[in-house]
């Protein structure tokens, strides 16, 4: 049997000024689903990193493309898909250039970028990247039941 879910899709110009618009949207969607404040903050950073990557890597200086974002709202999880249909970037290179710092690295050798994918991975429960036609990042965050008592004073709108 197919799992029931709601699906939202939006297209944004591949320009950095729209990254904030996506954050407002994910905030609204995640709040609607009952994610906690901290989880919503994590989601905002993760989707911003994904769209920032798409804006930066796929289009370079050509500000003509667009990025498609899909939200799958399931009973127990939120899936977010960020896809650019532009040129693709070298995934292997991107993966190698990512990760936390080692304390031993001298300041002058520290890289200024490359935290995007690392943060997505750290903040989401599951991340898949498809690099065949443009780049598609599929991220999942599960909805865990809040601790009893935590939301006693709130009226849930999701029931």
Q: Any contact of residue 60 with other proteins (CB under 8 A)?
A: no
Chain-centre distance of CA 154, in angstroms?
A: 27
74 binds other proteins (CB under 8 A): no
**Per-residue contact string for residues 109-128; x = within reach of other proteins by CB under 8 A:** -xxxx-xx-xx--xx-----
Among 10, 45, 73, 127, binds other proteins (CB under 8 A): 45
Determine whether 155 is exposed, middle or buried from the number of CB atoms within 10 Å of its CB (0-12, 13-18, 19+).
exposed
Phi and psi for 13 in degrees, rounded to 5?
A: -60, 145
Ramachandran bin of 99, using left for φ above 0, alpha for ψ from -120 to 50, beta for the remaining angles: left
Asked if 108 interacts with other proteins (CB under 8 A), we say yes
Contact positions toward other proteins, by CB under 8 A? 16-17, 19-21, 23-24, 38, 41, 44-45, 48-49, 52, 55-56, 100-103, 107-108, 110-113, 115-116, 118-119, 122-123
């Amino acid at each position: 049997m197919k799992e029931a879910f709601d699906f939202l899709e939006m297209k944004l110009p591949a320009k950095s000024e729209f990254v904030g618009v996506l954050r407002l949207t994910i905030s609204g969607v995640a709040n609607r689903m009952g994610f906690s404040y901290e989880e919503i903050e994590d989601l905002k950073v993760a989707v911003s990193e994904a769209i920032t990557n798409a804006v930066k890597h796929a289009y370079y200086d050509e500000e003509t493309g667009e990025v498609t974002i899909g939200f799958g709202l399931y009973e127990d999880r939120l899936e977010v898909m960020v896809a650019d249909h532009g040129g693709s970037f070298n995934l292997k290179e991107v993966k190698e250039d990512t990760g936390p710092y080692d304390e031993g690295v001298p300041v002058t050798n520290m890289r200024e970028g490359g935290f995007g994918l690392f943060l997505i991975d750290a903040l989401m429960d599951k991340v898949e990247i498809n690099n065949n036609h443009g780049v598609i990042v599929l991220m999942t965050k599960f909805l865990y039941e809040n601790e009893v008592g935590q939301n006693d004073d709130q009226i849930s709108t999701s029931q």
